[in-house]
Amino acid sequence: MSGIVDHPLFGITITVGVYALTDLIRRRWWRWLHPLLASSVVLILFLLASGISYESYAAGGDFVSFFLGPATVALGTTIYKNWERVRNRAWAILTGITFGSLFGIASTAFLLWVFGSSGEVLRSMLPKNVTSPVSVEIVALLGGIPSLGAVFTVLAGLLGSVVGPMLARLAGIRADAAIGTAIGTTAHGIGTARLLLESEAQGSVSGFSMAVAAILTPLLFIPMYWWMH
């Protein structure tokens, strides 16, 4: 029995199964249900309750998250397809993405420095606003802890996904292009997926912004990488 949960098929099956189930519940009954948050909570509780180790789960989980690699490349289609929609305001959106990405990195560095966090946590959190497969790689280049970086990135995405649309409204950000740029730049794929549930116009700008930020952010880190080495 203990052998079977170490098989990758175990982690793959429960991940896809719980995701499919929460997605079904969201579509049928509870539109506010967050598939990622709900699935993860169910899986964590299940693993804790059953005493199955994270390592056993991760043997299959790694297969599932492998697809983030080609999914990152697939973001190219998001840039290409949405270009016509954003080109007449491309300058505003691209400036927003560039400045927003820089602001995210600088404010993280400043706040963590003020609160005296360790360099390891700092290096793992700096790229938290860019899509997770990219942030994990940047964390590795900077010498942080990639899995911790992934966690911070997902938390940043969840935060933007859950409170982002409301915060934007409260801050008086009403234009679809501005909401999409703000959420895509700071809450990457998780925020984009949330916007796509409600608005194609916001979601497409968000996807465009997230994809452009995925290209831009590693370039912004090159000077820092050179300075460190």
Partner 1 sequence: MLGMAILLAFHFLGLLIQQTTSLPIPANVIGLILFTACLFLKIVKLEWVEASAQFLLRHMLLFFIPFVVGTMVYFPIIRESFLAIVFGLVASSLLSLVVTGWLTQWLDKGEKSS
Site for partner 1 in 12-31 (CB under 8 A): 15-16, 18-19
Residues from 59 through 78 that contact partner 1 (CB under 8 A): 61-62, 64-78
Residue reference for tokens 């831009």: 216
Q: How far is the CB of 111 from partner 1 (least distance, A)?
A: 5
CA distance 134 to 43: 25
**Min CB(23)–partner 1 separation in Å:** 8
65, 136 contact by CB (below 8 A): no
Q: Are 14 and 67 in contact (CB under 8 A)?
A: no
DSSP tally for the chain: helices H, then strands E: 11, 0
Among 5, 56, 93, 195, binds partner 1 (CB under 8 A): 93
User: Which residues have CB under 8 Å from 32's CB, separation 6+?
Assistant: none
Q: Does 5 bind partner 1 (CB under 8 A)?
A: no
Distance (Å, rounded) from C-alpha 51 to C-alpha 49?
6
- Is the CB of 9 or the CB of 147 nearer to partner 1? 147
* Number of residues forming the site for partner 1 (CB under 8 A): 113
Using rule CB under 8 A, residue 203 touches partner 1: no
CB closer to partner 1, 3 vs 70: 70
Q: Which is nearer to partner 1, 3 or 143 (CB)?
A: 143
Residues numbered 126-185 forming contacts with partner 1, rule: CB under 8 A: 128-129, 132-134, 137-138, 141, 147-148, 150-160, 163-164, 167-168, 171-175, 177-179, 181-183, 185
Q: State the nearest-atom distance from the C-beta of 3 to partner 1, in Å.
A: 21
Instruction: Tell me if 35 contacts partner 1 by CB under 8 A.
Output: yes
Scanning 67-131, the segments in alpha helix (DSSP H) are 68-86, 90-114, 119-125
| 9 belongs to the binding site for partner 1 (CB under 8 A) | no
Residue from 21, 121, 162, 201 in contact with partner 1 (CB under 8 A): 121
7, 13, 27, 103: which one binds partner 1 (CB under 8 A) = 103
Q: Within 10 A of 3 (CB to CB), how many other CB atoms are there?
A: 8
Contact 210, 185 (CB under 8 A): yes
Choice between 28 and 174, CB closer to partner 1: 174
CB 138 within 8 A of CB 217: yes
- Residue 93: which of 225, 212, 217 has the closest Cα? 212
CB of 120 to partner 1, least distance (A): 9
DSSP state of 144: S
